[in-house]
Amino acid sequence: MTQQDRGERIQKVLANAGVGSRREVDRWLQEGRVTVDGKKAQPGDRLTGGEKIKVDGKPLAETPAQDPPARVLLYYKPEGEVCTRNDPEGRATVFDSLPVPAAGRWISVGRLDYNTSGLLLLTTDGDLAHRLMHPSWEIEREYAVRVLGEVPAEKLNQLLEGIMLDDGPAKFVRLWEAGGSGANHWYHAVIGEGRRREVRRMWEAVEVRVSRLIRVRFGPLELPPGMRTGQWRELRQEEFASLYHAVGLKLPAVARAPRRVRQQRAASGRPRTRTRR
């Protein structure tokens, strides 16, 4: 094995350490913002542990010789929070009330927009986050959608057959009625990717107004019954296993949820409104 073949690729090491997602690290490398032991790092460089790394001239902790323990949180995001770390408008973020991980930092697995609530995954494992978000893995997202009025069958068929959005074609993998009365009707919609505001934009494309949107499933994980908005909890061992299996990753030996699975309520939590499923 040559020196070039030893160690792990810099993108994977920094992502797994929670510095940022692999996409972010790739961009930093291309922009020349990362140095290793005083030299500008290149995409594909390998690290063996203990290197001195700087991003934008600011030193990071020494890279570990082994990957840090992986953690995943399941968070019930309320409406009125954004998924960025710092919001220019000063709005609350999903990171405000989360526990501080012992190693790395939380990476949001995709985003939910300001007016959307529901299941949001956060992890310290950048490789896991990358695969869960990459379109090639076609990880399903299921949403409960409340709309105004009953939707004609031809419009539902359009959404299943495919429509054109400004960033390309889109369609629901599955779509079904989920009850409702009066002006409000609930539907459940499943997509296989996570483009910006994709679900809302699809309904808008067929001239249907969405009055409420809740993500109730991400891949094999469902929003737990009884969980309230603003609450989070660690994944159970079987949930870890199903999540890593869904994207073809080996379950890390260190990825173990505590025996007593913690569920905490953030300060911004509000009562959950149930939908008929």
User: What's the pLDDT tens digit per position in 189-212?
Assistant: 999 988 999 999 999 999 999 999
Domain ranges in the chain with CATH number 3.30.2350.10: 140-218
Choice between 265 and 151, residue whose per-residue pLDDT is larger: 151
CATH architecture type of domain 3-59: Roll (3.10)
Annotated catalytic, 56? no
Report CA dihedral (12, 15, 18, 19) to the nearest 10 degrees. 120
- Separation between Cα atoms, residue 144 and residue 76, nearest integer Å: 14
Asked whether 40 and 76 are in contact (CB, 8 A), the reply is no
User: What's the pLDDT tens digit per position in 236-262?
Assistant: 999 999 999 999 998 875 444 444 444
Considering the entire predicted model, what is its pTM?
0.73
CATH architecture type of domain 72-135+220-265: 2-Layer Sandwich (3.30)
Asked whether 228 and 119 are in contact (CB, 8 A), the reply is no
- From the candidate CATH numbers 3.30.1600.10, 2.40.110.10, 3.30.2350.10, 3.40.228.10, the one assigned to the domain spanning 140-218: 3.30.2350.10
**3-state SS class at 232:** strand
Q: Which pLDDT does position 26 carry in this prediction?
A: 86
Of 29-33, 44-48, 94-98, 179-183, the range with the lowest mean pLDDT is 179-183
Q: Which H or E element spans position 51? A: none
Domain ranges in the chain with CATH number 3.30.70.580: 72-135+220-265
Q: Which of 45, 56, 96, 113 is catalytic?
A: 113
Domain ranges in the chain with CATH number 3.10.290.10: 3-59
Q: How many CB atoms lie within 10 A of CB 269?
A: 17
Report CA dihedral (267, 215, 204, 147) to the nearest 10 degrees. -90
Is residue 113 pLDDT above 60, yes or no?
yes
